[in-house]
Amino acid sequence: MKRKLLLLITSSLFAMVLMAQQNATDLFISEYCEWSHQSTDPQTFNHYVEIYNGTGAAVDLTKYQLWRAKNGGGWGMDATIEIGPFPLAGTLANGKTFVIARPVEDGSEVTADMRWSFMNISGDDALGLAKDDGTGTFVLLDVFGTPDEDPGSAWDVGDSIAATINHTLIRKPDICSPTTDWATSAGTSAANSQWIVKQENDSTDVHLHTTQCTGTVSVYVNDVENDVVFPIPNNGSFKYQTSKAKQVRVIDITGRTISTFKVVAGVNNVNIDLPSGMYLLTTEKNESVSRMVIKE
């Protein structure tokens, strides 16, 4: 529901900070691992993909499928053998991950929520997350690799050569949307890639995903007497620019003071650890205080 803000101001110095969730637009692939140790007896593998829910609500996984394309052969085919699609099951809570891995009997080492025989992937196999469009037709939502392209042994990601084989890849914390554009997702440098390429068989972050998608802080600024708060949005760390030293109070929507901080003339670095919600940054002058009323 769109919020309309009615501000009743009795103080001449104020700036308002709006803390609002910038949730993920949908589920997305948050981690990928392809690692094989075939010289051991028995052989061991870490082949898995992790899916993250940062939408702000629990999600029915029966509306999603995992797809695979082998060696550039397109979705659903391994030579003459049909692959999948693999229907997901259960409910994924907000802020949680869901891991699909190779079967234990194949030598899989990672714990998983579901196991799929066709997760016996190699570095040139594309994976896709698909979603029911509401008519029973599943449409590609997020992609890892290119289904109709065989890169040889693996795809490059960022500035990492052959990153999709014998590596673990983790989606960067600022990625909050799935994409079907693998070129954009993979990127051409470490800076513009959506992925962090880690060493082989690094599963220390599996079942966990660090993200800025839930509880991201957005800032709305009322510029009075040159007081400015930026950037917009932010993750709770922002800059407060002012022309004079003062004490600033953080007030919630009930008028309760949550915390205070001091600023000096110039640009100040501020860090506030607060749950998502609406807050007012206010300064006091002659005992008067700014108040905020939220009208739904």
Q: Report the percentage of the chain scoring pLDDT > 70.
A: 71
Instruction: Name the residue with higher pLDDT: 276 or 212.
Output: 212
Query: Residues 125, 45: one domain?
Result: yes
Mark which of 146, 169, 198 sits at the end of a domain. Answer: 198
Pairing mode, strands 77-78 and 237-242 = unpaired
Q: Which residues pair with 31 in a beta bridge?
A: 50, 170
The residues pairing with 87 across neighbouring beta strands, listed in sequence order, are: 65
Q: How far apart are CA 47 and CA 161, in angstroms?
A: 19
pLDDT, position 171? 95
Question: Does the pLDDT of residue 42 top 80, yes or no?
Answer: no
Tell which residue, 119, 156, 106, 161, has the closest CA to residue 34: 119
**Does 284 or 141 have the greater pLDDT score?**
141
Domain assignment present for 234: yes
155 vs 19, more confident: 155
At 141, list the tokens: 């939502």
pTM of the shown model:
0.66
Q: Are residues 189 and 250 in the same domain?
A: no
Range of the domain at 143: 28-198
Is residue 133 situated within a structural domain?
yes
Indicate if 173 and 222 belong to the same structural domain: no
pLDDT band at 56 (very low <50, low <70, confident <90, very high): confident
Residues 282-295: pLDDT tens digits? 775 533 333 333 32
The Cβ of residue 202 has, within 10 Å, a number of other Cβ atoms equal to 16
Mean pLDDT for 212-240 is 57
Split into its structural domains, the chain has a count of 2
pLDDT at 98: 96
**pLDDT tens-digit map of 70-122:** 988 899 755 556 787 999 999 999 889 999 998 877 666 788 999 998 888 88
Query: Do 193 and 90 reside in the same domain of the chain?
Result: yes
The kind and range of the H/E element at 184 are: helix 182-186
* Domain limit, last residue, from 141, 169, 198: 198
Question: What is the CATH classification number for the domain harbouring 81?
Answer: 2.60.40
Give the pLDDT score at 239: 79
